[in-house]
Amino acid sequence: MDFSPSTQWNTKSDGHADTRHLTRATRFAYIGVTLFFFISLTWNLLVTPNSAAFISSLITLHLLVGGAFIGAIHHFRKKLLYEFRLRRSYETALHAEEEYLHQILDHVADGVAVFDVQGVPLYLNATAYHLFQSASPKPQLSIPEIKNKVFNAQGKRVLKNSELPQILALNGERVQGLELSLYDLDTNQRISLLANSQPLMGSDGHLEAVVVTYHDITASKRAESELRLAASAFEVPESMFITNHSGIIQHVNQEFSTMTGYKPDELVGSDSEILASEHHSNDFYVEMIKTLESAGRWEGELWCKRKDQKQQPLWAKITSIQTEKDKESYYLVSMVDLNTQYRKQNEMIARAYHDETTGLPNRTLLLDRLDQSLARSARSGVLGAVLSVEIDHFVNVNQTLGHLIADRLLKELAERLKRNVRRDDTLARSGDGQFTLILNEVASNQDIATQSAIAIAEKFKARISRPFHIFDHEVHVTSSIAISTFDGKNITTESVINQLDTTRKAAKEEGINSIRCFHPEMLSKVKRQLSIENDMRIALQRDQFSLFFQPKINVKNGQLSGAEALIRWKHPQQGYIDPSYFIPIAEENGLIEQLGEFVLREVCCRISIWQRSGLRVIPISINISAVQIRHDKFINSVNSILKETGVDPRYLEFEITESALEQNFVQIKRTIHSLKDQGIIISIDDFGTGYSNLSYLNEIVIDRLKIDQSFIYKLTEQKRKSPVAETIISLAHNFGMTTVGEGVETKAQFDFLRELGCDEAQGYFFCKPVSINIFSDLLKNPQVNRAS
């Protein structure tokens, strides 16, 4: 069966005119012949009645009869021919009508198909043909093929005949609005169809055929989903609205409605002018429209008037859109609230450049401000200054009072300091317990600039030393301040920071509550430190370190009760270098661990030599640096040296300073307990000088307290007993500890100590630190004469 859209009708020429001409000529010839015979018959009968006349009359009669017969036949034939022609023209008209109908149907946008009762397609109009044809690679389509290509609305292949509309119609049902899908095999696109079917009944009431119409709803479905998509895209956190070309609002999103305070239906249909703010001049709007018309988009700060008539700054992007359909142009306006944007930006900047606890500028911002201050000073020639304010032993505050109180302290401290700072200057938090103040353009004269900076430092010190009341705690702190001035011309920000760091170290060395100003000599000191550092590494390799021993005396009987091992470094060029100088450097560069191991190994070796020599062995004290004891490897290192030398740990005494207990107390406590478990004696060195938070005495069992020399010195200085020394001794005894008086230089001091009940004494009065050989001799004679 041919499904071509329309079958051409043949309109062949029937030769009707020729036949007519031929018949007429024959007729005339026939009538002529008959007339000729009739005249000759009449002539023969009237003029010569003979046999010829008889023959002639016979012929005439025959001709007349034959003519009548032929005439009858001709008449009949003519009638038949007429009927045939009538019928033929009727059929032609019918065909033409059918073709006309087909042509009309072919121009119908919807697909129209006619199926017979078996479901065999009888007719497909052009749309239906193309619809199914495109879904099939074959030129001709059969019902099973149609079935295979037709899917239901969910995109599932329709398997059941009953689901096909034409079949449903065959069952006598009329189907309305059934959604179907076809897949265009060329483009692999899905075609959505809406099918209706109508059964065609014959005159006998039986089903003759089914007419199915297919309406292509692909475009509208796509448009619908695009619309849905567009609507969802419109509901973003950004404020958006659409106006037509005349500025009439067509659509607003929820965000915009919330921002302006207008309900969506109050805005839709209104002129966007209701949002125009007086913040902008008319010219501004004219320019904006010009740009929009020429470039198709505009972006910039746009103030908007809200329903409550308040003006709001926004960052707007306006885009001109032209719809495909109606070729109308619209404007899509999207806006970000600059108030929130500014606030967010400011918050971000604040967070990045400010300290969270105090709200002060952080180190990053400080460096930036210092850059600016240097530039100002370079321009004006007026010197600026920078002050580093460090809370003494801030770690202790943190550890003993907790972070909450420490943070609150920093906050209150910042507030106090801020009151002393000009608006033009910068106070920043530059470290844990550290603040930095930049003073812009202090004075043109160096001395005056320094004096002004010192005056501010004094004020700071005074403010800081006043007690703080935090959560029922009265907190007392002191500060050390380093000052550096700059002229901005010949110095970089980095150099100013280096100078300040150097000065801060110097202030720290000086002790708590100090103020130090930078001096160029300090830099040469730093340089010297660097070269010492280098030399120290070489010294370790070349055995330039040795040990001296300083005896300790039993106060009651004057007997040698122990000794302190003190490191000595004989520098090849500089001679003996003071341990108080190189030990802190070694602590900073990490060499202290190697130095510590050297001292411990050396002491252990000496003890075993003395033991082997049959000498009386007394406990030897070793100074353990805070940095050393905090190190994870410390215990292992001690254990391996003890194992290596086989020394009885009870002959070892470790002197640690209170500062060692300031950080990682839990770990230090564990280390000390482990040392004590092995039998090593633990004493606290320089007791009374550090941040004496004595609570650790409840947690760690300490054997001995070494009273710092400064308190011993006061025993004679003030011509009276030192209350501190006295307190330490009684405290120690109460805790079951013994005491050692350090730096005993005079008999008077020794006598005082004896009176106070001090257990041991150590100092130049008895013996200066001596070499191993001299000390070995001393061991042979344990009675130290001076004490007697």
Residues lying near ligand C2E in the complex (CB under 6 A) are found at: 550, 566-567, 578-580, 583, 599, 623, 625, 685-686, 709, 743-745, 763-764, 769
Closest to ligand C2E by CB, 468 vs 750, is: 750
Q: Binding partner of residue 121 among Ca ion, ligand C2E, none, CB under 5 to 8 Å per kind?
A: none
- Cα–Cα distance measured from residue 674 to residue 697, given in angstroms and rounded to the nearest whole number: 16
- Cα–Cα distance measured from residue 174 to residue 195, given in angstroms and rounded to the nearest whole number: 11
- Nearest distance in Å: CB 456, Ca ion: 36
Q: Binding partner of residue 472 among ligand C2E, Ca ion, none, CB under 5 to 8 Å per kind?
A: none
Closest to ligand C2E by CB, 241 vs 752, is: 752
Residue 45 gets the label, from left (phi > 0), alpha (psi -120 to 50) or beta, of alpha
What single DSSP character describes residue 445?
Answer: S
Q: Binding partner of residue 583 among ligand C2E, Ca ion, none, CB under 5 to 8 Å per kind?
A: ligand C2E
Enter the tokens of residue 726: 């006295």
Among 255, 392, 535, 686, binds Ca ion (CB under 5 A): 686
Q: Name every residue whose Cβ is closer than 8 Å to that of residue 37 and which is 6 or more positions away in sequence.
A: 56, 59, 60, 63
- Nearest distance in Å: CB 768, Ca ion: 14
Strand-pair partners of 623: 655
Q: Binding partner of residue 578 among ligand C2E, Ca ion, none, CB under 5 to 8 Å per kind?
A: ligand C2E
User: Between β-strands 383-391 and 479-486, what pairing exists: parallel, antiparallel or unpaired?
Assistant: antiparallel
**DSSP string spanning 63-80?**
HHHHHHHHHHHHHHHHHH
Q: Binding partner of residue 360 among Ca ion, ligand C2E, none, CB under 5 to 8 Å per kind?
A: none
H and E: helices and strands count for the chain: 26, 28
Q: Binding partner of residue 625 among ligand C2E, Ca ion, none, CB under 5 to 8 Å per kind?
A: ligand C2E
HSE-up (13 A, CA, CB side) for residue 42 = 5
- Cα–Cα distance measured from residue 284 to residue 153, given in angstroms and rounded to the nearest whole number: 53
- Nearest distance in Å: CB 577, ligand C2E: 10
Closest to ligand C2E by CB, 468 vs 582, is: 582
Q: Binding partner of residue 745 among Ca ion, ligand C2E, none, CB under 5 to 8 Å per kind?
A: ligand C2E
- Nearest distance in Å: CB 769, ligand C2E: 5
**Helix (H, G, I), strand (E, B), or coil: what is residue 736?**
coil
- Cα–Cα distance measured from residue 78 to residue 265, given in angstroms and rounded to the nearest whole number: 83
> Binding marks (x or -) toward Ca ion, 602..641, rule CB under 5 A?
---------------------x------------------
In the numeric block, the tokens 């034409």 are attached to: 166
Q: Binding partner of residue 735 among ligand C2E, Ca ion, none, CB under 5 to 8 Å per kind?
A: none
Q: Name every residue whose Cβ is closer than 8 Å to that of residue 198 and which is 6 or more positions away in sequence.
A: 169, 174, 210, 211, 212
Q: Binding partner of residue 374 among Ca ion, ligand C2E, none, CB under 5 to 8 Å per kind?
A: none
Q: Binding partner of residue 313 among ligand C2E, Ca ion, none, CB under 5 to 8 Å per kind?
A: none
Closest to ligand C2E by CB, 440 vs 709, is: 709
> Binding marks (x or -) toward Ca ion, 720..749, rule CB under 5 A?
----------------------x-------
- Cα–Cα distance measured from residue 363 to residue 486, given in angstroms and rounded to the nearest whole number: 19
- Nearest distance in Å: CB 660, ligand C2E: 10
Closest to Ca ion by CB, 742 vs 759, is: 742
User: Are the C-beta atoms of residues 141 and 3 closer than 8 Å to each other?
Assistant: yes
Count other C-beta atoms under 10 Å from residue 146's C-beta: 21
Q: Binding partner of residue 406 among Ca ion, ligand C2E, none, CB under 5 to 8 Å per kind?
A: none
Enter the tokens of residue 362: 């952080």
- Cα–Cα distance measured from residue 59 to residue 513, given in angstroms and rounded to the nearest whole number: 170
Helix axes 579-589, 520-541, angle to 10 degrees: 80
In the numeric block, the tokens 């302190």 are attached to: 564
By CB under 5 A, the count of residues binding Ca ion is: 5
685 binds Ca ion, rule: CB under 5 A: yes
- Nearest distance in Å: CB 559, Ca ion: 21
Q: Binding partner of residue 567 among ligand C2E, Ca ion, none, CB under 5 to 8 Å per kind?
A: ligand C2E
Report CA Rg, the chain: 59
Closest to Ca ion by CB, 121 vs 741, is: 741
Give the helix ranges, DSSP H, for 296-330: none
- Cα–Cα distance measured from residue 762 to residue 554, given in angstroms and rounded to the nearest whole number: 9
- Nearest distance in Å: CB 582, ligand C2E: 9
CA-closest candidate to residue 117, choices 54, 195, 207: 207
- Nearest distance in Å: CB 744, ligand C2E: 6
Cβ-closest position to ligand C2E: 763
**DSSP string spanning 19-36?**
HHHHHHHHHHHHHHHHHH
Closest to Ca ion by CB, 255 vs 655, is: 655
Closest to ligand C2E by CB, 507 vs 553, is: 553
Stretch that binds Ca ion, among 101-109, 161-169, 655-663, 728-736 (CB under 5 A): 655-663
655 binds Ca ion, rule: CB under 5 A: yes
Closest to Ca ion by CB, 337 vs 658, is: 658
Closest to ligand C2E by CB, 486 vs 582, is: 582
Closest to ligand C2E by CB, 197 vs 709, is: 709
CA-closest candidate to residue 296, choices 331, 256, 254, 337: 331
Q: Is 533 exposed, middle or buried (0-12, 13-18, 19+ CB in 10 A)?
A: middle
What single DSSP character describes residue 7?
Answer: P
Closest to ligand C2E by CB, 361 vs 763, is: 763
Residues binding Ca ion (CB under 5 A): 623, 655, 685-686, 742
